[in-house]
């Protein structure tokens, strides 16, 4: 990001509202709507510049990560294939786990609504396993995924 900061004047003006006096702006140039619109436009232009920098940085990071994954897959083709098989196997395990979990939810949903203890026990029993299983499947899928040349050009 750029280290230079633009000093922008505040968009609010101060008014003297004492009894018996006409309201007058302390910042006389702020009375014009055109000046306010120019300030808003300048702020919007700066926001757009920052967003463009952010998108460029994120795209470069994503491209570097994709290149590193491709290099890893090329260096370890057997392991990448094994990761794909493991991810598919764990996906089948996940489906069975989700079936058991949804059966339990459907069987005990009324009790879970009524009692906080049953809901907490359900979350403690299924939540961490599901989160960890999803994380492992995601890692295996990333390591085994076939690189898409169309994505690496962007």
User: Each residue of 78-87: pLDDT tens digit?
Assistant: 999 999 999 9
pTM above 0.85, yes or no: no
Q: What's the pLDDT score for residue 32?
A: 81
Distance CA 109, CA 115 (A): 10
Distance CA 46, CA 13 (A): 22
Q: Which residues contact 49 (CB under 8 A, 6 or more apart)?
A: 2
Residues of the chain with pLDDT under 70: 1-31, 146-154
Question: Which among 80, 61, 89 has a CA at the least distance from the CA of 146?
Answer: 80
Asked whether the beta carbons of 72 and 147 are under 8 A apart, the reply is: no
Q: What's the pLDDT score for residue 153?
A: 41
Q: What's the pLDDT score for residue 27?
A: 53
Q: Let me know how many helices (H) and strands (E) the chain has, helices first.
A: 4, 0
The domain segmentation of the chain, as residue ranges, is: 11-75, 77-154
Q: What's the pLDDT score for residue 112?
A: 87
């Amino acid at each position: 990001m750029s280290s230079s900061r633009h000093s922008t004047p505040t968009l609010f003006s101060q008014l003297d509202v004492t009894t018996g006096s006409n309201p007058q702006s302390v910042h006389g140039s702020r009375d014009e709507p055109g000046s306010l619109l120019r300030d808003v436009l300048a702020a919007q232009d700066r926001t757009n510049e920052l967003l463009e920098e952010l998108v460029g940085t994120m795209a470069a990071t994503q491209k570097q990560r994709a290149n590193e994954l491709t290099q890893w897959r090329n260096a370890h083709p057997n392991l990448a294939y094994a990761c794909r098989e493991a991810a598919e196997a764990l996906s089948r395990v996940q489906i069975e786990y989700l079936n058991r979990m949804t059966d339990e939810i459907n069987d005990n949903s009324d009790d879970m609504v009524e009692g906080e203890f049953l809901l907490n026990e359900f979350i403690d029993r299924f939540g961490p396993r599901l989160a960890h299983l999803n994380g492992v499947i995601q890692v295996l899928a990333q390591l085994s995924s076939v690189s898409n040349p169309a994505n690496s050009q962007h």
